[in-house]
Structure 1
């Protein structure tokens, strides 16, 4: 087995693992519902960049708008290959994929109507890196951006931070995570500093869950 085939197999296992079980399927249904609300608030954009697209989880939702042109980018070529392979042909025909980093998107300024970013910011703990990404989004989008992440001010975020404090107080090593809760005041200030105004936001379960989807509109920077 070649290294590329092995890597694609790992990616495929990762994608399938995140779609198994009733609770996960229910979560995916709610994610799709939030995405539809956000796209509606963004004015049903005609040219959308899905970045990072991951396993193409949101491609069917993006393709529900018959006249929408969809670009999909991801840093991983293997992830894009798996996403295309597991997508129905009528969806795959609607998508143009290319490999790209969120820090340097391979498109010109004002190239798309909307950047759709549902699976990135909760992995970015550093505010400076978030600003770099937001500024690149501001360059590439002509109008709007849809950004999802974990925020504070809800029961699950409070529980998470309490558990972390208890572990540290009990002598545990520093908690290692790859997903992070961001202060709402911090991220909203970063949006404004990058040149975005908040159109609206949608919470997964208001007051309980950490997941929030922001709809942003580009302003003068």
Structure 2
């Protein structure tokens, strides 16, 4: 398949002079077995399928908020769960990247050929994306930042996103200010996990004020946000745009920049 060949060609394209990017511990577990399990888990029960349906719907709305971008980088793309939704725009060019080569292979194996042929896959790190400046209209980043405990690491990723996108980013993460985050923090405190040692954790809640400040520090402004289930769930998707970017004004004439939960 041509997409597999493209992926293999891109894995070794990083210049040897580049610094080695930081590594997140959770990402090292995704060998072929774990990658297949990651694909399977979103289809294994009714609750998982409903959750996936809701997440896909929110992601579609976020892309509409971002002006239905024509070129999108799906990073990390995981097992390609969002590719069919991204491909609904028949004019869209889709780049798909992940830190795990096994994850990319699983993604390609489970997509129909006509869809896989629309995707340009490659292996890269979110800290050092193997693309030139201003390469895509949008970076679509699902389920990454809730794995990043360090504000410095989140800011490094956001600054790299700012370099690679021409316009917008859609990003999801866990935030505070809802029942699930309150319950999780309470359980973690009971288990003694809030001692400042994150060695046994790989998923983290970020205060809304903190992440929004990091967006600003990285050079972004918030267009909108959408909550998975307002007041209950931790998942939130933000749509952010490069600040003072007047090349592509706010796309939705029926909406104005601000916060919205559906």
TM-score (norm 1): 0.92
CA distance, structure 2, for counterparts of residue 96 and residue 86 of structure 1: 15
**Does 2:73 correspond to 1:24?**
no
The counterpart of 1:80, out of the listed 72, 97, 104, is 104
CA distance, structure 2, for counterparts of residue 34 and residue 69 of structure 1: 20
**Does 2:80 correspond to 1:52?**
no
CA distance, structure 2, for counterparts of residue 57 and residue 125 of structure 1: 25
CA distance, structure 2, for counterparts of residue 13 and residue 51 of structure 1: 19
**Does the C-alpha gap of structure 1 residues 34 and 174 become closer, same or farther in structure 2, counting only changes over 3 Å?**
closer
Matches within 5 A, 1:127-138: 127-138=151-162
Question: Contact (CA 8 Å) 1:138, 1:195: kept in 2 or not?
Answer: yes
CA distance, structure 1, for counterparts of residue 82 and residue 203 of structure 2: 20
Question: Contact (CA 8 Å) 1:31, 1:204: kept in 2 or not?
Answer: yes
Aligned partner of 1:114 in structure 2 is 138
Shift of 1:26: 0.5
Matched length = 212
Question: Contact (CA 8 Å) 1:164, 1:175: kept in 2 or not?
Answer: no
CA RMSD of aligned residues (A): 1.7
Question: Would you tell me which structure has more helix in proportion to its own residues?
Answer: 1
**Does the C-alpha gap of structure 1 residues 174 and 116 become closer, same or farther in structure 2, counting only changes over 3 Å?**
closer
Moved over 3 A (4+): none
Mark the runs of 5 or more structure 2 residues left unpaired by the alignment. Answer: 1-30, 246-262
Shift of 1:8: 2.2
Question: Contact (CA 8 Å) 1:112, 1:142: kept in 2 or not?
Answer: yes
3-state SS of 2:171 partner: strand
Aligned partner of 2:14 in structure 1 is none
Deviations 1:161-184 (A, max 9, x none): 111222239xxx988321110000
Question: Would you tell me which structure has more strand in proportion to its own residues?
Answer: 1
Deviations 1:111-146 (A, max 9, x none): 100000012001001100000000000000000000
TM-score (norm 2): 0.78
Mark the runs of 5 or more structure 1 residues left unpaired by the alignment. Answer: 1-6
